[in-house]
């Protein structure tokens, strides 16, 4: 197995786990917050997809993000340049409910483009640094970040699902 296959398998397995974790969530469960400082599942999903879109499309390829390119920002009535980084509790509290199937469709669109881009990489490409201002972020480091962060967020989602289904809250 080469590096491209390993990353593709890791992303596909993450997506499989993610779909299993969210497939049966109700709108109320997706929007539920464990406490005033906590992110709801719908926000975490949106953030995950937006971050992947930003890293692959904008950061690495210097292209317009799928979010804007395909009009997802208009479909969800959200800003074009927002991905959740730095959101405060007020922004998270006022984050709208996004219909799960539409959000997953956006995520699938992003993932398809990521996999397509991944297929174009050779082993030597992983050491390239696409943005001089972020010299610590080579293409390899971006994929490392995506895989690590997504599994972390998947854990958040699964934990929150367990909390909301058990009737427990942290607040």
- List per-residue pLDDT tens for the chain, 171 residues long: 899 999 999 999 999 999 999 999 999 999 999 998 899 999 999 999 999 999 999 999 999 999 999 999 999 999 988 888 889 899 999 999 999 999 999 999 999 999 999 999 999 999 999 999 899 999 999 999 999 999 999 999 999 999 999 986 555
CA within 13 Å, CB half, 128: 11
CA proximity to 48, closest of 132, 141, 114: 114
Chain mean position to CA 165: 23
pLDDT at 164: 95
CA proximity to 54, closest of 32, 82, 93, 24: 82
- The pTM for the full model equals 0.93
Burial 21-45 (b: 16+ CB within 10 A, else e): bbeebeeebbbbbbeeebbbbbbbb
């Amino acid at each position: 197995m080469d590096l491209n296959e390993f990353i593709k398998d890791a992303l596909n397995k993450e997506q499989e786990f993610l779909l299993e974790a969210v497939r049966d969530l109700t709108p109320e469960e997706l929007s539920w917050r464990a406490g005033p400082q906590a992110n709801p599942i719908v926000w975490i999903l949106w953030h995950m997809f937006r971050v992947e879109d930003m890293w692959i499309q904008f950061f690495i390829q210097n292209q317009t993000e799928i979010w804007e390119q395909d009009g997802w920002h208009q479909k969800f009535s959200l800003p074009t340049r927002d991905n959740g980084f730095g959101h405060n509790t007020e922004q998270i509290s006022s984050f709208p409910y996004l219909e799960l199937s539409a959000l997953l469709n956006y995520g699938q669109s992003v993932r398809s483009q990521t996999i397509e881009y991944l297929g174009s990489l050779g082993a030597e490409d992983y050491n390239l640094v696409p943005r001089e201002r972020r010299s610590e972020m080579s293409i390899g480091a971006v994929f490392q970040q995506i895989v690590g962060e997504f599994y972390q967020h998947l854990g958040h989602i699964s934990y929150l699902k367990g909390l909301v289904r058990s009737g427990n809250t942290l607040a």
